[in-house]
Structure 1
Amino acid sequence: MKNFADVLIEEILHKNSVLVVGLDPDLQYFPDFLAGNDEISNQQASEAIYHYNRIVIDAVAEHAVAVKPQLAYYEVYGSEGIHALEKTIAYAKSKNLIVINDAKRGDIGSTSSAYAKAFLGNGSLAGDMVTVNPFLGSDGYLPFIEEAGRNGKGLFLLVKTSNPSSHEVQDVKLENGELLYIKMADDINKLAQQTLGENNYSFIGAVVGATYPMEAEKVRKVLPSSIFLVPGFGAQGGTANDLKPFFDAKGLGALVSSSRGIIYNGAKEEKKTEAILYEFIAKAAKESKDKINEVRLSH
């Protein structure tokens, strides 16, 4: 069974892309021909979400290596929303896209093991990778690493997230003067070095926000063999030039995620048909891919 880091790198080289498109369905941004507001039933919302996601997946499949459903947007619609997520995962896989479940799960012991099986096993919610909150400690994230290793999948552990208040916890200085996010990176690296693939990258990755390029440079020194999942590009303020520290000399080592800037590109009122919506999304995905490539391949 291949190390999932090698699978990921093969896809990156095949598509010449490190773009990840977030699937964050927010009905207020949907065009009117689908569902333009929240005043609909959960069943109608589920149908609209899956319809929209199919359009997005078709539009970005040529330009992206992965899609990243943010689970909260599905959970809010109960079992119907989860059903839309299950169908979305299956559809993305049918289009040969890697699926990263943005679940940010984290618990302890048997509960973490159950989460790991749900998202990295063989069930209907399982993708190829999952985001994990490691701040409960090693008994919270080791079950995910074990499950990923067994099934040839991968995960991303939160290290330095893109949100403005991340410094309140992640930048706390420890007694030895080390910052907490650096300590977390060091802990992850010890495990990553034991799980390297042929390309010298581990299936244990890290979430490091595009909004913190200076911090990313520090994390990269501590985590040389982990692929970074880089949120915050586009709508959250991260620019293409901010991405340079995330990549190695070959332009590898990171996946860059964009959600709103791609799936809600253009004015809602202009998207009167499915074909027009498709074109808006495909154009934004190609432009994002090209901007990122210009930076990552200029090393």
Structure 2
Amino acid sequence: MSAAPDGTPGPDVVAAQGGPVRAPFGARLAAAAAAHGPLCVGIDPHASLLAAWGLTDDAAGLRTFALTVLDAVAGRVAAVKPQAAFFERHGAAGVAVLEEVVAAGRQTGTLVVVDAKRGDIGSTMGGYADAFLRDGSPLAGDALTVSPYLGVGSLTPAAQAALATGRGLFALCLTSNPEGRSVQHARSADGVSVAAQVAAWAAGLNAGADPQGSVGLVVGATVGDAAAEAGVDLEAVHGPFLAPGVGAQGAGAAELRAVFGRARGHVLASSSRGVLGAGPDVGALRAAARRAADEAAAALG
């Protein structure tokens, strides 16, 4: 069994024939948030951040950046979230670094959400599920972000793979970018918004889970009354919410109440720049993550 530096149990609960047996992702996330605070630290090696850290914009700089962030926060926050795009831009060498980061994060017992936002149909979606959610795949963390905009049914291969292996999903639902509104708030002939259809799909998969399901949604912490306007019942989702925008990006207790209401106990605040800007010093990164976790806990309390 892997464990974090403070002794928190890692993701592999029991070794069994055919591979590890895990508690469901939703339960593991709830435990991690209770232990460390409801914070997910993004590992987003923008070219500008690499330069600010005095690192080269190549696979070597990428590796130093990502492993330094892990060294600072692993075992001290609920989750980390490597953004696949910033690794993929360096080609095969960058993807190899992403594989190393996923493995290193999971070895510490810290939950790893791979932010790849994959979405496709049929066998292609099955291929993405195989890459990011299959036991033994070097890209498989504990959860994956997915895009439902080919229809929520297109995500069935990913949902099946995630739930079968104790992993989770975060489907885009209500995002803070202005372009998202035209799609997410659009309504079908029977008057149901696209966002509400995504939320209902997640709720169906999470039914009966304790303390929460493993199929979550990405909901921006700064979207105001978007859930109410789009007819989305967030409380009924009974799953986690990955929420960019908490703390340094402007969302505090009042904003979180407006967005999530009584569902805010399931929110996992996502912070990237607010923590990463403190680097490259490990101590400074660690302190920034602790502040962000405390701010998120206070805002969500």
Whether the 8 Å CA contact 1:185–1:222 is kept in 2: the answer is: no
Aligned residue in 1 for 2:29:
8
Gaps of 5+ in 2: 1-21
Q: Taking every aligned residue pair, what percent have the same amino acid on both sides?
A: 34
Contact 2:235-2:262 within 8 A present in 1 as well:
no
* Deviation string, structure 1 residues 162-215 (Cα, Å, up to 9, x no partner): 21221121112333333221232123322322xx3331x211111111111322
Partner secondary structure for residue 173 of structure 1 = coil
Asked whether 1:97 is paired with 2:114, we answer no
- TM-score of the two chains, using structure 1 as the length reference: 0.84
Q: Does structure 1 conserve the Cα–Cα contact (< 8 Å) formed by 2:43 and 2:66?
A: yes
**1:183 equivalent in structure 2:** 197
CA distance in structure 1 between the partners assigned to 2:246 and 2:178 by the alignment: 14
- The yes-or-no answer on 1:116 pairing with 2:129 is yes
Matches within 5 A, 1:1-299: 1-15=22-36, 17-30=37-50, 34-35=54-55, 38=57, 45-121=58-134, 122-193=136-207, 196-199=208-211, 201-216=212-227, 219-221=232-234, 223-234=236-247, 236-244=249-257, 245-246=259-260, 248=262, 252-265=265-278, 277-297=281-301
Q: Distance in 1 between matches of 2:234 and 2:297?
A: 22
SS in 2 for 1:135: coil
On the 8 A contact 1:63/1:289 being kept in 2, the answer is no
RMSD: 2.2
1:114-164 CA-to-partner distances (Å, cap 9, x unmatched) read 101111112111101001111112442011111011111111111111212
Question: What's the TM-score, normalizing by structure 2?
Answer: 0.84
Superposition deviation, residue 46 in structure 1: 1.1
Decide whether aligned partners of structure 1 residues 279 and 31 sit closer, same or farther in structure 2, where only a CA change above 3 A counts: farther
Aligned mates of 2:114, 2:86 — CA distance in 1: 12
Task: Give unpaired runs (5+ residues) of structure 1.
Answer: 39-44, 266-270
Q: 1:247 to 1:257 in 2, by over 3 A?
A: farther
1:42 maps to none
Residue identity matched to 1:58:
D
Q: Secondary structure at the match of 2:137?
A: coil
* Counterpart for residue 6 of structure 2: none
Distance change in 2, residues 1:221/1:166 (3 Å): same
How far 1:287 moved relative to its partner? 1.2
